[in-house]
């Protein structure tokens, strides 16, 4: 893994998003994983990838309405362990970037615990927390829902994407991270540890 003291510009990241059957990692399941690699603040769209995960049971109608992953679509997915293998291969040597990262952490840790009996030591950047810190330091008000991904993207003049698609949301989180970095550290010399959501003891 990269060192916490190295410059953000010299660090490698992987923006990640999950679509799930609900919000409870112990009860709900992963349906889709999307990711795209970043070198510093530069997004490499050639690395953008996604895995649809074969559902272990019926997809709740309430969640299917949100992410448009129906029982029929989910039946054509890959097994969860194959999807995780692809994700962790892409994540090797990189720091994970996610928006509202606690959700991704919860589902990935629960899935790995269930499949492999271990919880992965993930180093994480949470764009929601970075944005919240930046807004509070600037003395700017944070309205209700003001920290949602699409709301923050509009604040930073980023284009609107289709929401609740793992690949598009991963790219959207990566672009938001790049925008936040350009404001916080235009020269890219900010130490990586300053943007981590995960505690330093992982390093």
Q: For 135-167, what is each residue's pLDDT tens digit?
A: 999 999 999 899 999 999 999 999 999 889 999
pLDDT in tens, 45-89: 999 999 999 988 899 998 998 999 999 999 999 999 999 999 999
Rg (CA), the chain: 17
User: What tens digit of pLDDT does each residue of 102-121 get?
Assistant: 999 999 999 999 999 999 88
Is the pTM for the entire model greater than 0.75?
yes
Kindly state the percentage of the chain with pLDDT values over 70. Answer: 97
Taking the C-alpha atoms of residue 100 and residue 169, their distance in angstroms, rounded to an integer, is 12
φ, ψ dihedrals at 55, nearest 5°: -70, 145
Give residues with Cβ within 8 angstroms of 37, minimum separation 6. Answer: 12, 13, 14, 15, 43, 44, 47, 90, 94
How far apart, in Å, are the Cα atoms of 99 and each of 5, 61, 70, 187?
23, 24, 24, 23
Give the Cα separation of 92 and 90 in Å (integer). 6
Within 10 angstroms of residue 94's Cβ, the number of other Cβ atoms is: 20
| pLDDT band (50, 70, 90) for residue 198 | low
């Amino acid at each position: 893994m990269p060192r916490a003291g190295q410059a953000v510009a010299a660090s490698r990241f992987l923006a990640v998003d999950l679509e799930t059957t609900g919000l409870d990692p112990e009860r709900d399941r992963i349906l889709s994983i999307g990711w795209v690699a970043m070198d510093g603040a530069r997004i490499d769209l050639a690395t953008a990838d996604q895995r649809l995960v074969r559902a272990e049971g019926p997809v709740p109608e309430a969640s299917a309405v949100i992410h448009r992953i129906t029982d029929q679509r989910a039946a054509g997915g890959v097994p969860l362990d194959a999807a995780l293998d692809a994700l962790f291969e892409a994540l090797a040597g990189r720091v994970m970037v996610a928006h509202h990262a606690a959700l991704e952490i919860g589902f990935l840790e629960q899935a790995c615990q269930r499949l492999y009996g271990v919880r992965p030591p993930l180093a994480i950047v949470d764009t929601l927390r970075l944005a919240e810190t930046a807004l509070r330091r600037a003395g700017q008000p944070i309205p209700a829902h003001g920290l949602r991904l699409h709301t923050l993207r509009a604040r930073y003049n980023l284009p609107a994407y289709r929401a609740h698609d793992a690949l598009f949301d991963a790219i959207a989180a990566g672009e938001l991270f790049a925008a936040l970095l350009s404001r916080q550290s235009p020269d890219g010399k900010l130490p990586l540890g300053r943007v981590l959501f995960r505690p330093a003891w992982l390093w």
